[in-house]
Amino acid sequence: MTFGATSTTDDVLAGVDLSGKRILVTGVSAGLGVETARALAAHGAEVVGAARDLDKARRATETVRKQAANGGSLELIELDLASLKSVRAAADRLVADGRPFDVVINNAGVMACPFGKTEDGFETQFGTNHLGHFVFVNRIASLLKPGSRVVSLASAGHRFSDVNLEDPNFETTEYTEFGAYGRSKTANILFAVEFDRRHKDRGVRAVAVHPGGIQTELGRHMTPEVTQQMIDSINAQAPAGSTGAGFSWKTIPQGAATSVWAAVVADTDEVGGLYCEDCHLAELQNEPGLRGGVRSYAIDPANAKALWELSEEMVGETF
């Protein structure tokens, strides 16, 4: 079955039975995280949803519980990715509990926010989107059984910028909201590249995905003007006469489809250590613009290894 940009979570999971599968999804208090959890639980998966605000997550995931079927379920855990203390506590609780996972989906994140720092002093977007997940997934790696997968939500926004290994916290370079977002999303892809390299010998694979343009709480810091500028820029950079040149938003079920596809449907040998969009493997695309494809720097193994080493140094922990 071939899926594409308009495929939904229900399309991708049609006929798929996830009974007995245990799947962790971060960021289940809104948008893509809620839809991802709903679709998985509706097909029988035991979903563990992580969120910073558990009250908000409980309200947001009522539909997940209502639609859970075939033994599907949802339990919530507290996880604030902008606090390594919270990240380590959440990971330690899961490891102590000891139940393994079939899939971990790193869905949570922040986008294009004003300059700020996490509790540990990291630039907000790099610290939350990358370093928080970096520590969390590495700490629970022992729970990933052979055949399991890690799905890292990245973005076409990785095309804004490569990572800056010399100045990850913008101490000497000028901060821009989208530049910082781009760095963090490139980091999400590079994490999947290196995690996959380190764990594939034991049958654990990692893949990065771009969900597409979706209007969710992720864009809460973007004014309508900034959003329109982004759309105009994407449209202006579309090749003349190309099909689908006009930008269009995806629905949330369409946006979550690639995460779900990469998590339980795609052939891991085809997507492991790589970057996917619209429910297929993305092509290498180094031309300017944001429309599609993956930049070579984002899947460069040497870049991935260097980022891993820097990340360990920043968080004070070796994996």
Residue 74 lies in a domain: yes
227 located within any domain: no
Could you tell me the residue range of the domain that residue 50 belongs to? 9-221+252-315
Residues acting as catalytic residues: 181
- The whole-number pLDDT of residue 241 equals 40
What is the pTM assigned to this prediction? Answer: 0.92
Per-residue pLDDT reduced to its tens digit, 7-64:
999 999 999 999 999 999 999 999 999 999 999 999 999 999 999 999 999 999 999 9
Chain segment 74-86, per-residue pLDDT in tens: 999 999 999 999 9
- The answer to whether residue 4 is domain-embedded is no
pLDDT at 215: 66
pLDDT at position 223, please? 58
Segments of the chain with pLDDT less than 70: 215-248, 290-291
The reply to whether 2 falls in a domain is: no
Which CATH number do you get for residue 260?
A: 3.40.50.720
Q: Is residue 246 part of a domain?
A: no
Q: Could you tell me if residue 230 is inside a domain?
A: no
Q: What is the pLDDT of residue 108?
A: 96
pLDDT tens, residue by residue, 143-152: 999 999 999 9
pLDDT at 287 (0 to 100): 86
Residue 206: inside a domain: yes
- SS3 string, the chain, reads CCCCCCCCHHHHCCCCCCCCCEEEEECCCCHHHHHHHHHHHHCCCEEEEEECCHHHHHHHCHHHHHHCCCCCEEEEEECCCCCHHHHHHHHHHHHHHCCCEEEEEECCCCCCCCCCECCCCCEHHHHHHHHHHHHHHHHCHHHEEEEEEEEEECCHHHHHCCCCCCCCCCCCCCCCHHHHHHHHHHHHHHHHHHHHHHHHHHCCEEEEEECCCECCHHHCCCCHHHHHHHHHHHHHCCCCCCCCCCCCCECHHHHCHHHHHHHHHCCHHHHCCCEEECCEECCECCCCCCCCCECHHHHCHHHHHHHHHHHHHHHCCCC
Give the pLDDT of residue 77: 98
Q: How many domains does the chain have?
A: 1
Residue 233 inside a domain? The answer is no
